[in-house]
Amino acid sequence: MSAIRVIKDQCIGCGLCVKACPYGAISMKDKLAEIDLHKCTLCGACVEVCPVNAIVLSVKRKSVEGLEDYKGVWIFAEQKDGEIQPVIYELLGVGQRLAKARGTELSAVLIGDGVEEKTKELFQRGADKVYLVEHPNLVHYLDEPYSRILTKLVRQYKPEIVLTGATSVGRSLIPRAAVELNTGLTADCTGLEIDPETGHLLQTRPAFGGNIMATIRCENSRPQMATVRHKVMQEASVDPQRTEGEVIKVDVSEADVASRTSILEVVKEVEETVNLTEADVIVSGGRGLKGPENFEIIRELAKVLDGAVGASRAAVDAGWVSYSHQVGQTGKTVKPKIYIAVGISGAIQHLVGMSSSDVIIAINKNPDAPIFKVADYGLVGDLFEVVPALTKRFKEILKK
């Protein structure tokens, strides 16, 4: 908890704090500074400019008693239609490393119906223990029952760290649980480490549009919770011999699985090529395509290469292609073997989502485009000439 106050006897009414406050939370009353606590965000800008130290910002630490009772690393094993989602294998990979650093167990939480067979996959990928929750009402993800069940499990077993994928499900589930558990949550992490001195989880994520990397610690509450973007961590390797482990079957009541909402129909998205986040080759188009009709040349090249179609935010915002194809900070993070950026200038928000690709090929008529700074190969030219020529040549080589 934090608090801010003005020491009236020291304030000289200079007004510097009024000018410095970015939120308009300070005004002058009777020639003294007065802070509107409803507007104040405790940023500290006023404290820095006050020439007489009349503004005091204090931080009160929460009690940290009982933190030692929390042990273990948990992964929420998201499943869809009974299949473990690929990002979970990445979480199990980083989870093994974190568990080893803390000298504890790695566990997975699997919620669904008829998914017990999938526990073998989790054991093969490094899980020591699986908390299995099955019920017909849990066959599809629903906010209320899933978060209610996860929260109850955390309160009962007290894991030190809880991780989930930064998917639509993970982003919906984990904030609800964090609020109920009164703990911190770091979203869209790209790096996770254990502080060797304190044992706290160091959670790294892009901030300010990807211009800086922020490392966040949750020092005074447990569990430490984070969502992790797909394709930024190394997958856990498969051990075919490791098919068994401890399965803890959790019984749930009708109240546990109750929900104010229900699923009427599940509409599956049909990919034009292959799944964007799983593709080895991605061909992405940007503003340089000039219109939605020109995305056809992107699709043709992607199909020839058995790849997926991606897009920049500018192309998505213009309505040329659906959001499901967007690559970048506000879209999907991808890590293909080959990423071909066509007519994309290379804004930092886009680079955040694709810069970890093995090979980056840029096609742009502007030789000074930022995309060329991160590209392994660059083609400066008219994309409407270059891309069809590449498609034709690949068809000849691949005999398609």
pLDDT in tens, 313-326: 999 999 999 888 99
Phi and psi at 77, nearest 5°, equal: -85, 80
Q: Can you tell me the mean pLDDT for 298-311? A: 92
**Cβ 99 vs Cβ 107: under 8 Å:** no
If you count them, how many residues does the chain have? 400
What letter represents residue 326's amino acid? Q
Q: What is the pLDDT of residue 272?
A: 53
pTM: 0.68
Chain centroid to CA 303: how far?
A: 29
pLDDT over 90 percentage in the chain: 64
Label residue 88 by pLDDT band (50, 70, 90).
very high
Yes or no: say if 386 and 379 are a contact pair by the CB < 8 Å rule: yes
Q: In whole angstroms, give the CA distance from residue 88 to residue 362.
A: 31
Residue 65 pLDDT? 57
Structure-block tokens of residue 55: 């503004």
- pLDDT, residue 295, reads 92
Can you tell me the mean pLDDT for 207-231? 84
pLDDT-based confidence at 250, cuts 50/70/90?
very high
**pLDDT for the residue 63:** 47
Q: How confident is the model at residue 201 (pLDDT cuts 50, 70, 90)?
A: very high
Mean pLDDT of the region 81-95: 92
The answer to whether 298 and 309 have CB atoms below 8 angstroms apart is yes
- Residue 377's nearest CA partner among 357, 393, 394 is 357
Q: What is the pLDDT of residue 14?
A: 92
pLDDT, tens digit, 9 for 90 and up, residues 337-362: 999 999 999 988 898 888 888 899 99
